Structure 1
Amino acid sequence: MCAREEWEAARAVGEYRALSLAEVGFIHLSAPYQAHLPANRIFAGRTDLVLLWLDPERLGAPVKWEPGVPADPESMTFPHLYGPLPVDAVVEVASYLPGSDGIFAPLTAD
């Protein structure tokens, strides 16, 4: 997930480079069942977010499942992409809005 403006900028250059790529060497990703955790931790109340649905076969860089933060459920790991995210790996983009209380709910299966 990222701000819509960041996604539009990435589309213009062909890849998304989150600040974390330069800071810690990877881009934080989430499985659908965990997306609400970082959304609430980092983006609570924001209404400009988009979820980027990815095709793992198109990523072009290693993905490692590693621990999140201590407040996450015990033994939960998150996918980390060790390289830029190619825009052609994104198969769907969807708005991700919080509830009226500013909190992001867990995603539900459609």
Structure 2
Amino acid sequence: MEISYWIVAALLAVFYLYAGGKKVIQSQERLQPMMGWVDTVPMPLVRVIGVLEVLGAVGLILPPLTGIASWLAIAAAIGLVLIQIGGITVHLSRGEVRQIGLNIALLAAAAATAWLGTTWL
């Protein structure tokens, strides 16, 4: 189970460091082609989502790696589940049903990470 956790957590961390980092650093115009929803959400909220994604990525890796407050990894995974629920909600409200596939996959991976974390952390 521990190996499974590290594989899924590492993949999620890489994804969220990239996606969250883009939301934190890039302008609305640069994000628009890849993330159409940024035109309906205030940029400060986009930045907050990006920061939460980066913190979630760090939370999946650092606590179990250091052995300090390992329960934070489970909290980070649950936080990422909540972010994806919000993402699905935004896509559905915009009529973007085809866009939620990635959100569902990320939600499932984050939920699996939370569950795997409870088995050995």
TM-score, structure 2 as length reference:
0.22
Greater relative contact order, per chain length (Cα 8 Å cut-off, separation 6+) = 1
Kindly name which structure, 1 or 2, has the bigger radius of gyration based on alpha carbons. Answer: 2
Structure with more strand by fraction: 1
